[in-house]
């Protein structure tokens, strides 16, 4: 790790590849806030410009794949990127451009959040993109983090209970994924399933009684990326990311008339840095909670 101009060790540099949400509850803006909340420096390549607010997505303008490639190449030749988070891709062309980028650059940690629909139900990945993610892109990442609807689309299975989530996780590994976290926020209890190296682990938490949240998947995958870049195991990173998102949902507040975004900086409000306002404690190592397996 290089030293900054102020004499302190520079934080990990992370890259998010995702769409832009003008309300900043999801997409690259939410990812960058999550990276910063974990003491990391965030960079971003924008796959799509969406026209949306808290009430929903109005239109989507996908970045031409050549422009996406140019963004990615510009960052890769300049920055020492410690980890990559992939979110909304929009179409097959952009998914293929990202796959080429990953092949050309060997990153230590790659997290794929396979965004297919927005929280309000708007389509965010075309059919060709879904097929490419399922057959090609998931083979190139360290971990894929679908929610239940996304896991159903990718596997063709119906998921109604944790046992179905386990089946979907196994199928995604059979399809080429190295590790899988199926997020169970759509079920009655917030149980996530981690499947890694043949071992199945349940990560459970009480479901937060908040309706119509926005950007939870983005925050989870970004927090997971930050924790992995900071040296955590996948189990530890997943447990800490889940706790972070749960608390950020609890602290969320309305900014408009629709869905409620997370408070990505809730820790900074309740736990001010001890050494002064301009300093952040250990990069990405906030002890949000002790990991608990069930």
CATH code of residue 32: 3.40.1190.20
4 within domain boundaries: no
88 within domain boundaries: yes
236 within domain boundaries: yes
Q: List strand residue ranges (DSSP E) for the chain, in order.
A: 13-20, 41-53, 56-62, 81-86, 109-112, 143-144, 179-182, 190-196, 199-205, 213-214, 260-261
Identify the pLDDT of residue 194.
98
> How far is Cα 34 from Cα 288, in angstroms, rounded to an integer?
14
Count how many domains the chain has: 1
Q: Which of 47, 213, 225, 246 is catalytic?
A: 213
Q: Which of 47, 63, 93, 183 is catalytic?
A: 183
272 within domain boundaries: no
24 is catalytic: no
Q: Which of 19, 215, 252, 258 is catalytic?
A: 215
Q: Which of 34, 218, 243, 246 is catalytic?
A: 218
183 is catalytic: yes
**Average pLDDT per block of 10 residues along the chain, 294 residues long:** 51 98 97 98 98 95 99 98 98 99 97 93 94 98 97 97 96 98 79 96 82 88 98 97 94 93 89 51 45 46
127 within domain boundaries: yes
Identify the pLDDT of residue 30.
98
Identify the pLDDT of residue 190.
75
188 within domain boundaries: yes
281 within domain boundaries: no
Identify the pLDDT of residue 281.
46
289 within domain boundaries: no
Q: Which structural domain range is residue 153 located in?
A: 13-267
> How far is Cα 31 from Cα 53, in angstroms, rounded to an integer?
17
2 is catalytic: no
Number of helical (H) and strand (E) elements in the chain, helices listed first: 9, 11
How far is Cα of residue 221 from the mean position of the Cα atoms in its chain? 2
198 is catalytic: no
243 is catalytic: no
213 is catalytic: yes
């Amino acid at each position: 790790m290089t030293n900054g101009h102020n004499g302190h060790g520079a934080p990990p540099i992370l890259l998010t590849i995702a769409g832009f949400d003008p309300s900043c509850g999801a997409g690259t803006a939410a990812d960058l806030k999550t990276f910063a909340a974990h003491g990391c420096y965030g960079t971003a390549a924008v796959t799509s410009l969406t026209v949306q607010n808290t009430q929903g997505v109005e239109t989507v303008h996908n970045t031409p794949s050549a422009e996406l490639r140019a963004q990615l190449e510009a960052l890769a030749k300049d920055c020492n990127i410690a980890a990559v988070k992939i979110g909304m891709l929009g179409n097959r062309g952009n998914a293929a451009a990202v796959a080429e980028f990953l092949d050309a650059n060997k990153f230590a940690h790659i997290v794929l959040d396979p965004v297919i629909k927005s929280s309000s139900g708007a389509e965010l990945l075309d059919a060709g993109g879904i097929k490419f993610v399922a057959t090609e892109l998931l083979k190139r990442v360290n971990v894929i983090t679908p929610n239940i609807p996304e896991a159903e689309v990718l596997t063709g299975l119906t998921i109604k209970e944790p046992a179905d989530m386990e089946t979907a996780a196994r199928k995604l590994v059979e399809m080429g994924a190295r590790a899988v976290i199926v997020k169970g926020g759509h079920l009655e209890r917030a149980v996530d399933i981690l499947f890694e190296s043949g071992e199945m682990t349940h990560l459970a938490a009480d479901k937060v009684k908040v309706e119509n949240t926005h950007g939870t998947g983005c925050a989870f995958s970004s927090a997971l990326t930050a924790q992995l870049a900071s040296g955590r195991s996948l189990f530890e990173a997943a447990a800490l990311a889940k706790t972070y998102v749960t608390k950020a949902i609890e602290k969320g507040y309305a900014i408009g008339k629709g869905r409620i975004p997370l408070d990505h900086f809730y820790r900074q409000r309740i736990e001010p840095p001890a050494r002064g306002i301009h300093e952040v404690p250990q990069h990405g190592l906030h002890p949000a909670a002790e990991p608990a397996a069930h």
